[in-house]
Amino acid sequence: MWALLKSVSELKVLVVGCGSMAGGLDQPMQASRSPITHAGALSGNDAFRLAGCVDPEDGQRTAFQKKWNIAHGYSNLDEALSARSYDVVSICSPTALHFDHLKRVLAARPRAVLCEKPLTTSRSESRAIVAAYSAASVPLMVNYLRRWDAAIATIETELLSGQWGELRCAIGLYTKGVLHNGGHMVDLFRRLFGNVTAETVFDVRGTSDSADPTVGALLRAPANKPLHMIAGDAEDYPLFELQIVTERGVLTVEGGGLSIRRRAVGDNPIAPSHRFLTTGTTSAGEVEHAMPAVIAELAEVAHGRKPQSSCDGSNALATEEVCHDLIELAHQYRGSNH
């Protein structure tokens, strides 16, 4: 009887795209770490059942079905949506396909949609998608993962409480595209410091025709506070770190969020009349536990128990508007330097 009730209450999920973020980076029932993919986190939450998947590559789709015990697999989205209904759709397809896939999914009127970031490749398409989902009252969540990072929430609380005094500046280091990976940094800026604006680009990485260059840039937070984005080289190693310089010390998000370092101002033992930054403390971050939090909130949103997600379409659009401003500034920078 319990099994029957559970099967009725489960939210049936369709996963669109069967690549790394869909589930390739996780293993079912792994105990060594928290899941970091859609299928990994969905399969670990009793509110959901992985019921279908879509991928044009037969081998990849079949392997994904077997790995995650998914009954139904399809080569295209129309076939999947016409065959049966789904409560939740998880969009993990290549970004270039998001606009088309999100439109087609909306026509099926699921209870909720979770989309990998960025929403689309263009400003106009993202605006159109957000407007359409809002008009249809279909909840749209976008996976800017650090919106669900508990350690980042703690930093936000500390900054808002005045514990660290005034913000002086922030420096974010990242690699691999201002829209794709840089979007995480812009969204983190927006979460911690409020609405931000792009002021200038002073460095551009990537080919001259790159639609998503890796840029070095200056942005501004409220009260004209400077926020610096510094571009690394992805061929060397992945990089995502944030240093927050305040009146009373420096906080650093290191290793993509795997550790948090706090350095308060203290007395200098060599020169007692001078103040300096102490060695401080380092604590474990929470980014590796963020994906289960995303999925837990997805259940609340799909059941109507939470009216707005931590990162809905409007929030994602605001982040991506800044990214597209930076891309336009990068094109101007290239034009003036060639």
State whether 127 and 274 are in the same domain.
no
Share the mean pLDDT of the chain.
94
Shared domain check, 126 and 183: no
Q: What is the DSSP letter of 180?
A: I
Q: What DSSP letter does each residue of 286-333 carry, written as one string?
A: -GGGHHHHHHHHHHHHHTTS-SS-TTBHHHHHHHHHHHHHHHHHHHHH
Cβ atoms of 29 and 20 closer than 8 Å: no
Residue 268 one-letter amino acid: N
Give the per-residue SS3 of 119-149.
CCCCHHHHHHHHHHHHHHCCCEEECCHHHHC
For residue 86, which phi and psi values (nearest 5 degrees)? -130, 145
Domain count, the chain: 2
Percentage of the chain beyond pLDDT 90 is 87
Average pLDDT over residues 230-248: 96
Whether the pTM exceeds 0.85: the reply is yes
Do 194 and 220 belong together in one domain?
Answer: yes
Phi and psi for 334 in degrees, rounded to 5? -60, -40
Q: What's the pLDDT band for 338 if we cut at 50, 70, 90?
A: low
User: How many whole angstroms separate alpha carbon 83 and alpha carbon 66?
Assistant: 20
Taking only the tens place, the pLDDT of each residue in 152-182 is 999 999 999 999 999 999 999 999 999 999 9
Same domain, 90 and 222: no
Instruction: Render pLDDT for 83-123 as a digit per residue (tens, 0 to 9).
Output: 999 999 999 999 999 999 999 999 999 999 999 999 999 99
Looking at the structure, do residues 218 and 303 belong to the same domain, yes or no? no
How many whole angstroms separate alpha carbon 38 and alpha carbon 43? 8
Does residue 271 sit in the same domain as residue 179? yes
- What CATH number did the domain enclosing 203 receive? 3.30.360.10
The predicted pLDDT at position 209 comes to 58
Closest listed residue to residue 103, CA positions, set 131, 79, 122: 131
Q: Which residues pair with 48 in a beta bridge?
A: 11
Does residue 284 share a domain with residue 227? Answer: yes
Task: Indicate if the alpha-carbon torsion angle 215, 141, 58, 19 is positive or negative.
Answer: positive
- What's the CATH number where 34 sits? 3.40.50.720
Range of the domain at 213: 147-288+321-336
pLDDT digits over 273-299, tens only? 788 899 999 999 999 999 999 999 999
Say yes or no to pLDDT of 1 above 70: no
Least Cα distance to 277 among 254, 303, 251 occurs for 251
- Tell me, yes or no, whether 96 and 157 share the same domain: no
Task: Decide if pLDDT at 208 tops 80.
Answer: no
Domain co-membership, 296 together with 168: no
Assess contact for 206 and 151: CB atoms under 8 A. no
Give the whole-number percent of the chain exceeding pLDDT 70: 96
Please indicate, yes or no, whether residues 113 and 55 belong to a single structural domain of this protein.
yes
What single DSSP character describes residue 23?
I
Type and span of the H or E element at 264: strand 259-267
